[in-house]
C-alpha cells in the first residue's frame, strides 16, 4: 500500500490546489508560498496548529485558506 504524503498545512489536499483568501498574498497557492516565502509558510503552519486557520471549499470548487484575525 502506498504511503500518502501529508502537508503540515493542508493535510491530504495538495498544496498547489489550496489558495490564500486574505492579505497581500491573496490568490497565491500554498505551494507557491512555500517556495517563495518560507517564513510566511511557517507563520501559516503556526496559525494552523493554534487552530486559527481553516481550509474551506468554495462554490467554485476551489480550496481557500482563511486565518482568523480575532482580537482578545
In sequence order, the 6+-apart residues with CB closer than 8 A to the CB of 15 are: 7, 9, 29, 30, 31, 34
Instruction: Please give the helix or strand (H or E) that residue 39 lies within, else none.
Output: helix 38-49
Is a pLDDT exceeding 50 seen at residue 71?
Answer: no
Is a pLDDT exceeding 80 seen at residue 69?
Answer: no
Domain extent listing, the chain: 15-67
Tens digit of pLDDT for each residue in 1-52? 555 578 888 888 999 999 998 888 999 999 999 999 999 999 999 999 998 9
**Which pTM does this prediction carry?**
0.80
Q: What is the pLDDT confidence band of residue 56, given thresholds at 50, 70 and 90? A: very high
Amino acid at each position: 500500500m502506498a504511503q500518502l504524503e501529508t502537508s503540515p498545512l493542508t493535510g491530504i489536499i495538495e498544496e498547489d490546489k489550496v489558495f490564500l483568501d486574505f492579505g497581500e498574498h491573496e490568490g497565491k497557492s500554498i505551494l507557491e508560498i512555500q517556495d517563495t516565502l518560507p517564513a510566511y509558510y511557517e507563520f501559516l503552519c503556526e496559525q494552523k496548529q493554534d487552530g486559527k486557520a481553516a481550509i474551506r471549499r468554495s462554490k467554485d470548487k476551489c480550496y481557500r485558506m482563511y486565518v482568523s484575525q480575532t482580537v482578545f
